[in-house]
Amino acid sequence: MKTPSESSQPFLTDVQTLRDRARQNMSDGAVTKSYGGDVNRAIEILQTVLATEIVCVLRYTMHAITATGISSEAVKAEFAEHAKEEQEHMTAVAERIDQLGGTPNFNPEGLATRSASQYAEGGNLVGMIKENLIAEQIAVDHYRELIRYFGDKDPSTRVMLEGILSVEEEHATDMQDLLDSHQGT
């Protein structure tokens, strides 16, 4: 078994080298020489994540406003809370795209084709819950895949996605609970 000092990855202890490198590459911003991923591919992937979050904000907001029925008030409140959290995800992803040197794509043209999830109205209250559950399951699987992709190549993006994944899993559980209670199961 290797000890930490025998690791194949040497630890950079030369602070002067770090300082010199930072001064020479000031225009690189957050994407320094130690960035292990493909920055253009990361931005491209994050643009799809951004589109997905925008679609989720729109769907949840629409459902929070239009849900009707005798027991709709609590569900509407849940939809509104999820819309707020999806907007926070949207902002975090857009900020990460900017940190990587890209420009977040908020253009509504082509939004549906850039998004992993769909904008589905759902019709009645149960239909809305089902559409949101489907979207959350898509998001959970998508984020897990992206977390594996970014791995150690881009730990900042990975950590951001891990935080979002945790909330998306909670959303999926919330939607499943709502579905169970409104279908009488």
Query: For a pLDDT cut of 70, what percent of the chain falls above it?
Result: 81
The first and second tokens of residue 131, run together, are 């559409």
Q: Give the tens place of pLDDT for each residue, 79-96.
A: 999 999 999 999 999 999
Whole-angstrom Cα distance, residue 75 to residue 177? 11
User: Average pLDDT for residues 2-16, to the nearest whole number?
Assistant: 59
CA of 179: how far to CAs of 19, 117, 131, in Å? 56, 19, 10
- Reported confidence tier of residue 110, pLDDT bands at 50, 70, 90: very high
Domains of the chain, by residue range, sit at: 37-183
Would the pLDDT of 50 be above 90?
A: yes
- Yes or no: domain 37-183 corresponds to CATH 1.20.1260.10: yes
Would you state the pLDDT for residue 123?
85
pTM: 0.84
Residue 82 has, within 13 A of its CA and on its CB side, a CA count of: 32
